Amino acid sequence: MLQCNGMKTVSPLIVGNWKLNPETLHDARDLFLAIRKRLPRQLGDVAVVVAPPFPFISELRRLAPSGRIALAAQTAFAEMKGAHTGEVSLPMLESVGVTTVILGHSERRAQGEQDAAINASARAALKRKLTTIVCVGELERDTEAGYFGVVEGQLIAALRDIPKTQLKDLVIAYEPVWAIGTGATATPEDAHEMKLFIQKVIVAHYGRPALKKVRIIYGGSVKPDNAAALLDAGAVDGFLIGGASLVATEFIDIIKTASTYVKRSV
């Protein structure tokens, strides 16, 4: 936490979600090294995280011994072990250096991932003190503002039985699905409005002090040329970045932009 003009502030969190990219370990190494090489020496309190596909995590951890680039998993299963073919557990992820998990991404929800499973993984991850990014977002912007109800429903389901004491490791990523990978971005005003709405839901559940603990980031076609406005007028606490995180120079430009911002948390 930083202090700025007497206001409490949070450090921006910049997360690159590589999704099902790149194709090989060789290419993953190249991309990671290109990012590492360009990472500014002074990050200005920005936390940088990369979420590669599972098979690449160990090797990339080896390439980032200083921890200046933290590693995330793109999903995680709630059970610790047992007969769950194809799943990956939190202890497994921790054992290869993962400190952050992304849960409930819309591309996984579209494959059938349910609120209950997202909530179970979130509870397990927060209990283990992992930084836990829960994604929420509407499929479309309807004219009756039903998108607030969609986001509220996803939030309430994801936060079920999560105690107040574990909120400091929780991050909410507002990712309107219509903006993901499309080049269409929420306006900074829309992002800000949704941030305030998410904060309202959090306050209703946990009380006002919770606001200082939970970061609210934005995802959906974040690029170097819209990052500043989203941080400034949008007042979001960071980004979840897909496409632009696969281009080292773009990812670094966004990190540099974020390093010039010190965000107010409330």
Active site residue 175: yes
- Which of 94, 113, 144, 175 is the catalytic position? 175
- Which of 59, 84, 87, 105 is the catalytic position? 105
Q: Is 238 in the site for ligand PGA (CB under 6 A)?
A: no
Applying CB under 6 A, which of residues 188, 220, 234, 238 lies at the interface with ligand PGA?
Answer: 220
Q: Is 241 in the site for ligand PGA (CB under 6 A)?
A: yes
Q: Is 73 in the site for ligand PGA (CB under 6 A)?
A: no
Distance CA 192, CA 242 (A): 20
Quick note: the x/- pattern for ligand PGA over 128-167, rule CB under 6 A, is ----------------------------------------
Active site residue 23: no
Instruction: Kindly state the smallest distance separating residue 238's Cβ from ligand PGA, in Å.
Output: 12
Instruction: Kindly state the smallest distance separating residue 105's Cβ from ligand PGA, in Å.
Output: 6
Q: Is 52 in the site for ligand PGA (CB under 6 A)?
A: no
Comparison of 104 and 242: residue with beta carbon closer to ligand PGA: 242
Query: 6-35: which residues touch ligand PGA (CB under 6 A)?
Result: 17
Applying CB under 6 A, which of residues 240, 252, 254, 262 lies at the interface with ligand PGA?
Answer: 240
Q: Write out the chain in H/E/C secondary structure.
A: CEEECCEEEECCEEEEECCCCCCCHHHHHHHHHHHHHHCCCCCCCCEEEEECCHHHHHHHHHHCCCCCEEEEECCCECCCCCCCCCCCEHHHHHHCCEEEEEECCHHHHCCCCCHHHHHHHHHHHHHCCCEEEEEECCCCCCCCCCHHHHHHHHHHHHHCCCCHHHHHHEEEEECCHHHCCCCCCCCHHHHHHHHHHHHHHHHHHHCHHHHHCCEEEEECCCCHHHHHHHHHCCCCCEEEECHHHHCHHHHHHHHHHHHCCCEECC
Comparison of 19 and 38: residue with beta carbon closer to ligand PGA: 19
The site for ligand PGA (CB under 6 A) is made up of 17, 175, 180-181, 219-222, 240-244
**Which residues have a catalytic role annotated?**
105, 175
